[in-house]
Amino acid sequence: MTDSADEGASTLAPDDAFAMLGDETRMEILQALGNATEPVSFSELHDDVSVRDSGQFNYHLNKLVGHFVEQTEDGYRLRQAGRRVIEAILSGAVTKAPKFELTTIDEQCHYCGAQIAVRYSEERVQIYCTNCEGAYASPRPTDEPDVPGDYGSLGAMLLPPAGVEGRTPEAAYRAAWTWGNLEILAMASGICPRCSADTEPTIDICEDHNSTEGICGSCGRRYAVFLTSNCTNCNYKIGGGLFLAFCTITPLLSFLLEHDINPISPDVTDIHKLNRVHEDYTEDILTINPLKVRLTTTIEGDEFALTVDEDLEISDVSY
Ligand SMILES: [Zn+2]
Ligand SMILES: [Zn+2]
Ligand SMILES: [Zn+2]
C-alpha cells in the first residue's frame, strides 16, 4: 500500500514538531482541515479560524505546510502527520481526563468467580476482584483510595477518554478489553500497536516465588515468570503473564475456535473464557537456568499446554 499524497512530506525532529504545533491558530487550522472531506481553499480555511489578520493567518498556515499540511492545486489538506495529531486530540488523550469511581459490574473474576469491580483513572480501566487476591499486589491505598483493602487487583487496561464517554462502566470495561486485546495481539505478533515499530519482549523470573496463598510476597504477582514487551521506537510498553506472548499461535487459535471462542471480536461470554485461558493457567518451571517452563490452561475441562524457553521458543504444544 502506498500513500502518494504524503510524498514530499518532510521529516521533523520531535522538538521542532512540538514547537510547530504550540500555537492556537495552527491547531485551529489542523482541526478545520480534519473536519473537511476535501481540500479547502485559502479563503475558506481563513473563514474557519478565529485569527482575522490574513498576514498572521498566512504565516501560521505556511508553518504547517510541508510536514502536517499539503498544499495542492485544489486547496489545502492534512498529511498523515496532521491526521495523527487530530486523532490524538479526538481520542481525548490530549484534552480530557474523565474518571469514574469504583463500580461493581456484572462480570466474574476468572480466578474465583466472584463479582469484579472497575474504576477509571489516568486513561486506565483498573480491575479488581471483590473476593480473592487477584493477580497483582496493587499500590493502594494512596493511588486508589476508594478501593477496599480486601479487593485483589486483576490488572489495568488502557482506554482513551473517548472510550469512556457515553459508556457505562461495564461497557467501558468491555471496550477496554476488546481494544486492549487487539493491542496484545499486535504485541504478540512483534508489532507495536501505537507506532508499528518492532517490539522487544523481556522476561523476569521471581526466583523466590511463593504463590500458594495467591500473590507472591516477593514479586507481588501470581506467576513467577513475567513478560514485558517494549517498543523499540516509542514509549509503548505492556506487561503480563507469560501466556500472553503466545496468544496468537495457530494451535491456541484452533483450540479457542474448537471451543466456540472468538479471540478477535469476543462477546461477553468469550471475554470471560479468554480471561480464563490467558490468565488462569498453571506455570511449571522445569528448569530455571536456562529457563524452561510449561504453561497449561484449560477450558471446559480440555487442556492446552505448551513448553517454552527464555527466548519464547516453543518446544512442545499439546491439546
Ligand atoms: Zn477473584
Ligand atoms: Zn514471586
Ligand atoms: Zn511503538
Q: What does the mean pLDDT of the chain come to?
A: 91
Last residue of a domain, one of 65, 90, 115: 90
Compute and round to an integer the Cα radius of gyration of the chain.
24
Tens digits of per-residue pLDDT, 202-239? Answer: 999 999 999 887 899 999 999 999 999 999 999 999 99
Say what percent of the chain tops pLDDT 70: 96
Ligand 2 centroid from CA 241, angstroms: 12
User: What is the pLDDT confidence band of residue 137, given thresholds at 50, 70 and 90?
Assistant: confident
* Residue 16 domain flag: yes
Last residue of a domain, one of 72, 90, 108: 90
Q: Grid cell 471475554 — which residue?
A: 271
The CATH number for 48's domain is 1.10.10.10
Ligand 1 centroid from CA 108, angstroms: 8
Is pLDDT above 80 for 183?
yes
Closest CA to 157 of 254, 277, 96, 239: 239
Ligand 3 centroid from CA 88, angstroms: 15
Ligand 3 centroid from CA 183, angstroms: 11
Ligand nearest to the CA of 209: 2
Least confident piece of the model among 95-104, 118-127, 149-158: 95-104
Ligand 2 centroid from CA 293, angstroms: 15
Q: Judge whether 148 and 142 are in contact, CB under 8 Å.
A: no
Structural domain containing residue 265: 244-318
Task: Report pTM.
Answer: 0.85
Is pLDDT above 80 for 6?
no
Q: Judge whether 278 and 243 are in contact, CB under 8 Å.
A: yes
What letter does residue 218 receive in the DSSP assignment?
A: T
Tens digits of per-residue pLDDT, 287-297? Answer: 999 999 999 99
Least confident piece of the model among 75-79, 194-198, 208-212: 208-212
Cβ within 8 Å of residue 319, ≥6 positions away: 251, 254, 255, 302, 303, 304, 305
Say what percent of the chain tops pLDDT 90: 81
Is pLDDT above 60 for 5?
no
- Cα(first)–Cα(last) distance of the chain, in Å? 38
Ligand 2 centroid from CA 23, angstroms: 49
Ligand 3 centroid from CA 92, angstroms: 19
Is pLDDT above 70 for 166?
yes
Average pLDDT over residues 55-82: 94
* Residue 307 domain flag: yes
Ligand 3 centroid from CA 153, angstroms: 27
Ligand 3 centroid from CA 199, angstroms: 7
Task: Return the pLDDT at 7.
Answer: 52
Cβ within 8 Å of residue 151, ≥6 positions away: 117, 128, 129, 130, 134
* Residue 64 domain flag: yes
Q: CA-to-CA distance for 93 and 86, rounded, in angstroms? A: 11
Is pLDDT above 50 for 26?
yes
Ligand nearest to the CA of 200: 3
Last residue of a domain, one of 43, 66, 90: 90
* Residue 217 domain flag: no
Task: Return the pLDDT at 292.
Answer: 97
Is pLDDT above 80 for 93?
no
**Distances, alpha carbon 292 to alpha carbons 14, 205, 284, 314, 315, in Å:** 42, 11, 9, 10, 9
Task: Return the pLDDT at 139.
Answer: 66
Is pLDDT above 70 for 8?
no
Count of domains observed in the chain: 2
Helix (H, G, I), strand (E, B) or coil at 37: coil
Cβ within 8 Å of residue 83, ≥6 positions away: 34
* Residue 174 domain flag: no
Q: CA-to-CA distance for 170 and 175, rounded, in angstroms? A: 9
Is pLDDT above 80 for 3?
no
Least confident piece of the model among 18-22, 156-160, 300-304: 18-22
Strand order in the sheet with 152-158: 100-108, 115-121, 124-129, 152-158
Ligand 3 centroid from CA 198, angstroms: 7
User: What is the pLDDT confidence band of residue 91, given thresholds at 50, 70 and 90?
Assistant: confident
Average pLDDT over residues 24-30: 93
Task: Return the pLDDT at 4.
Answer: 47
Ligand 3 centroid from CA 37, angstroms: 29
Ligand 2 centroid from CA 125, angstroms: 25
Alpha helices in the chain (DSSP H): 14-21, 24-35, 42-48, 54-64, 80-90, 169-188, 250-258, 268-279
* Residue 59 domain flag: yes
Ligand 3 centroid from CA 202, angstroms: 16
Q: CA-to-CA distance for 222 and 158, rounded, in angstroms? A: 21
* Residue 99 domain flag: no
Q: Judge whether 247 and 263 are in contact, CB under 8 Å.
A: yes
